[in-house]
Structure 1
Amino acid sequence: MKFTFAHNNINVLDLDRSLAFYKKALNLVENRRWDNPDFILVYLGDGHSQHQLELTWLKDRTAPYNLGDNEMHLAFHVDDYDGAHTLHSQMGCICFENEGMGLYFISDPDGYWIEIMPFRKVHEQE
């Protein structure tokens, strides 16, 4: 039996704001969309891997999501760490830096954390 990652899902309060954030911050683009009377699902991809991020927008939702103490996060490695750090600093979305580990986290419009690490860090851990 073989399992393969397909996607991760997060719920967003403002779909347009989230799409703009993920495009600007991580260069994720919309691969497909499913429009339902009660919700919209948008699948974002990085153009390199098959893994996708599914954004779910509930059309009648008006209150921000309570993420609680959940330490769930997405993680990306980047080939230009300094350039990414500069972009994210300019966007004002860096929420935590761990210089000792050589990585940092950004926060999306709904408060989800996204880990950013240099490409080499992924391979050093293997």
Structure 2
Amino acid sequence: MNFKFTHNNINVLDLEKSLNFYQKALDLVEVKRYQEPTGAFILIYLGDGNTSHTLELTWLRDRTEPYDLGENEFHLALTVDDFQKAHEHHEKMGCICYENQEMGIYFINDPDGYWIEILPED
């Protein structure tokens, strides 16, 4: 057997706000969309243009309450070729939620409160 990662999923409350955030913060773009025929939900897959791995955003029409992320002990992680420039960009956006300078990493959070780790390329 040969397993391969394909995507990660997160549920979002405001689809347009999330799409704008992921495009502006991480340059992720829509690569696939599925809209359930009755409009009950929409799945949008975002890609980085470099790998086949995608982030699936799930929007549920009838959801009105923010998602309970518990202790938020999970996160996505992305590397970036210009760490300092990315940090400055995210600082201007006001989305840095945690920094660990000793480890050389920081985290941003999306509109729903999910954390995303930013690491320099090796």
Partner of 1:106: 108
In the alignment, structure 1 segments of 5+ residues that lack a partner are 121-126
Q: How does 1:15-94 map to 2 (within 5 A)?
A: 15-36=15-36, 37=38, 38-94=40-96
TM-score calculated relative to the size of structure 1: 0.94
- Contact 2:72 2:114 (C-alpha < 8 Å) held by counterparts: no
Aligned length: 120
Measure the CA separation in 1 of the matches of 2:32 and 2:2: 25
- Percent identity over paired residues: 65
Measure the CA separation in 2 of the matches of 1:97 and 1:17: 24
Whichever structure has more helix as a proportion of its residues is 1
Measure the CA separation in 1 of the matches of 2:6 and 2:85: 29
In the alignment, structure 2 segments of 5+ residues that lack a partner are none
RMSD of Structure 2 on Structure 1 (CA): 0.5
Which of structure 1's runs of 4+ aligned residues deviate more than 3 A? none
Cα drift, residue 69 of structure 1: 1.0
Read off the aligned partner of 1:20 and give its amino acid letter: N
Q: Secondary structure at the match of 1:97?
A: strand
TM-score calculated relative to the size of structure 2: 0.97
